[in-house]
């Protein structure tokens, strides 16, 4: 198998660099799935979204986290009729506001090994990911 074989699956539905197709391919290869994903830095939930495709086409239960108030208003408006989407207006940090504490605060019953985590906050993505201790997402995109 060539080392860039995933590029053959690139496809844009809501993403801009082929992530939709690559994410779908990887998720389809998982031996077990629970159809749960989390998107940190969800923006409006549409623009360049790494999760919108699997929300609508794979029926994923999704937690969309956006700290910007204006974008959060757009996010909640875009998903107001979707019972599988939970929108949170919080900033995820890597100290007292890490993802573990945030998920515990909202008591959303997220499986420890949820399928997909997308972190796109344009800066501290790696540090946010590094402070997740209580969860082990099967696929993470930073």
Q: What is the pLDDT of residues 130-142, one digit of tens each?
A: 999 999 999 999 9
CATH number of the domain within which 67 lies: 3.40.50.150
- Residue 71 within a domain: yes
Nearest-5° Cα angle at 45, 40 to 47: 105
- Residue 14 within a domain: no
- Residue 45 within a domain: yes
Query: What confidence category does residue 1 fall into, taking pLDDT thresholds of 50, 70 and 90?
Result: low
Q: Report how far residue 93's alpha carbon sits from residue 99's, in angstroms, rounded to the nearest whole number.
A: 7
Contact status, residue 142 vs residue 126, Cβ threshold 8 Å: yes
Range of the structural domain that residue 130 is part of:
34-141
- Residue 59 within a domain: yes
Query: What confidence category does residue 94 fall into, taking pLDDT thresholds of 50, 70 and 90?
Result: confident
**Strand blocks (E) in the chain:** 36-40, 61-65, 85-88, 116-119, 139-141
- Residue 11 within a domain: no
- Residue 16 within a domain: no
Query: What confidence category does residue 3 fall into, taking pLDDT thresholds of 50, 70 and 90?
Result: confident
């Amino acid at each position: 198998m060539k080392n860039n074989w995933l590029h053959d699956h690139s496809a844009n539905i809501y993403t801009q660099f082929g992530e939709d197709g690559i994410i779908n391919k990887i998720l389809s290869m998982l031996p077990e799935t629970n159809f749960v994903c989390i998107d940190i830095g969800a923006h409006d939930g549409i623009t360049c979204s790494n999760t919108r495709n699997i929300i609508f086409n794979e029926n994923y239960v999704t937690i969309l986290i956006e700290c910007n108030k204006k974008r959060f208003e757009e996010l909640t408006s875009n998903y107001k009729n979707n019972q599988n989407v939970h929108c949170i207006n919080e900033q995820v940090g890597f100290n007292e506001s890490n993802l573990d504490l945030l998920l515990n605060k909202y008591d959303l019953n997220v499986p420890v090994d949820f399928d997909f985590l997308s972190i796109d906050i344009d800066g501290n993505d790696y540090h946010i990911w590094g402070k997740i201790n209580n969860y082990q997402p099967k696929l993470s995109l930073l």
